[in-house]
Amino acid sequence: MVTILDTVKNAPKARHPEKANRPDNPIQRKPEWIRVKAPGSPVYKETQEIVKENGLFTVCEEAGCPNIGECWSKKHATMMIMGDTCTRACAFCNVKTGMPAPLDPNEPENVALAVEKLGLHHVVITSVDRDDLADGGAEHFAQVIRAIRARSPSTTIEVLTPDFLRKEGALEVVVAAKPDVFNHNLETVPSNYLTVRPGARYFHSIRLLQRVKELDPTIFTKSGIMVGLGEERHEVLQLMDDLRSADVDFLTIGQYLQPTSKHHAIIRFVPPDEFKSYETVAYTKGFLMVSSSPLTRSSHHAGEDFAQLRANREKKLAEARG
Ligand code: SF4
């Protein structure tokens, strides 16, 4: 096992000149409970090759995800569609900011090919924010879903979308393409939005998740947050209630890790027993599935979690039938 610093050092990263004017927040030493697998196994390299030869971006690389060694060694990569440049500049995120390139019309087919080659049972598709597009990229999301379905009909599909802020009808287009899981992350508690997620609105995100369920109750909904950004426990519990009031099925909670000294500082490393406590409380509030640990990320173990989520729903339905 190696430290997270070794992994981040070895993983390919995006360059971020746009963050140069942010204040410096020195990177803190990670606690002993944050340990990850080093990248570089033969399967890791195979995954890297498939991603490269299909000209794809992954959030695993662009965000410098600490789990890349583990996930890619199991051929689990999260595709990031619509380019590598985001129209927003959230204080926690390592993806570069600027004016993105036009959409690649071949991308849906290339993603579908990669999914087929990787032999994925479950795939997570995310994207940069594309506030420059009239529909926020909703139709492109739908095209990617349809292309994967055509090549790999048994693969289950999870989308992790932006908020499509002020894009009338965008959400409906993605829901109509019928992903199995619709994930949209709240990222943090509302009191942090101005500093952490300035381009977004907390209740817009809650409403978006609620709307997905209203449009298609068969789609699982999912959301996640990072902790260690200065939030209070009672705020996290309120956020859980807000998500449950929107009928959200699955909650993920993970430790925020600061990508560079130009990003938001880590206010606190949350110890593993607090993650466990959040998990226990979240289940009592009615979530079908909860993943809460220091290294939890939206797409970490997404395939295994999806299988469990489905089983939990069946169990709940059976109980309701008596
Ligand atoms: S947790 Fe998600 S983003 Fe991170 S490496 Fe795994 S699949 Fe990629």
Residue 154 belongs to a domain with what CATH number? 3.20.20.70
Name residues whose C-beta falls within 8 Å of residue 265's C-beta, 6 or more positions apart in sequence. 25, 28, 258
Is residue 297 lining ligand 1, measured as CB closer than 6 Å? yes
Q: Per the domain annotation, does 28 fall within a domain?
A: no
Is residue 71 lining ligand 1, measured as CB closer than 6 Å? yes
Name residues whose C-beta falls within 8 Å of residue 219's C-beta, 6 or more positions apart in sequence. 175, 178, 179, 180, 181, 182, 212, 213
Is residue 60 lining ligand 1, measured as CB closer than 6 Å? yes
CB 13 within 8 A of CB 61: yes
Q: Per the domain annotation, does 9 fall within a domain?
A: no
Alpha helices in 246-301 (DSSP H): 272-284
Q: Distance between CA 136 and CA 132 in Å, rounded? A: 7
Q: Distance between CA 303 and CA 309 in Å, rounded? A: 10
Is residue 295 lining ligand 1, measured as CB closer than 6 Å? no
Is residue 59 lining ligand 1, measured as CB closer than 6 Å? yes
- Residue 226 confidence (pLDDT): 97
Q: Per the domain annotation, does 185 fall within a domain?
A: yes
Name residues whose C-beta falls within 8 Å of residue 78's C-beta, 6 or more positions apart in sequence. 58, 59, 60, 71, 124, 125, 126, 160, 299, 302
State how beta strands 57-58 and 79-81 pair: antiparallel
Ranges assigned E (strand) in 134-249: 156-160, 181-183, 220-227
Q: Per the domain annotation, does 3 fall within a domain?
A: no
Task: Report the alpha-carbon angle 312-59-88, nearest 5.
Answer: 110
- Residue 21 confidence (pLDDT): 56
Total domains in the chain come to 1
Q: Residue 58 CA: which ligand 1 atom is closest? A: 8
Q: Per the domain annotation, does 245 fall within a domain?
A: yes
Full pLDDT tens readout for the chain, 322 residues:
444 444 434 443 433 444 555 668 888 889 999 988 778 899 999 999 999 998 899 999 988 899 999 999 999 999 999 999 999 988 998 898 999 999 999 999 999 999 999 999 999 999 999 999 999 999 999 999 999 999 999 999 999 999 998 799 999 999 999 999 999 999 999 999 999 999 899 999 999 999 999 999 999 999 999 999 999 999 999 999 999 999 999 999 999 999 999 899 999 999 999 999 999 999 999 999 999 999 999 999 999 999 999 999 999 999 999 8
Is residue 78 lining ligand 1, measured as CB closer than 6 Å? yes
Q: Distance between CA 64 and CA 288 in Å, rounded? A: 29
Q: Per the domain annotation, does 206 fall within a domain?
A: yes
The tokens for 130 are 């594309």
Q: Containing domain of residue 302, as a range?
A: 35-321
Q: Per the domain annotation, does 187 fall within a domain?
A: yes
- Residue 178 confidence (pLDDT): 98
For ligand 1, the distance from its centroid to the CA atom of residue 253, given in whole angstroms, is 14
Q: Per the domain annotation, does 226 fall within a domain?
A: yes
Q: Residue 297 CA: which ligand 1 atom is closest? A: 1
Tell me how far apart the 2 most distant CA atoms of the chain are, in Å: 60
In this prediction the pTM is 0.91
- Residue 29 confidence (pLDDT): 87
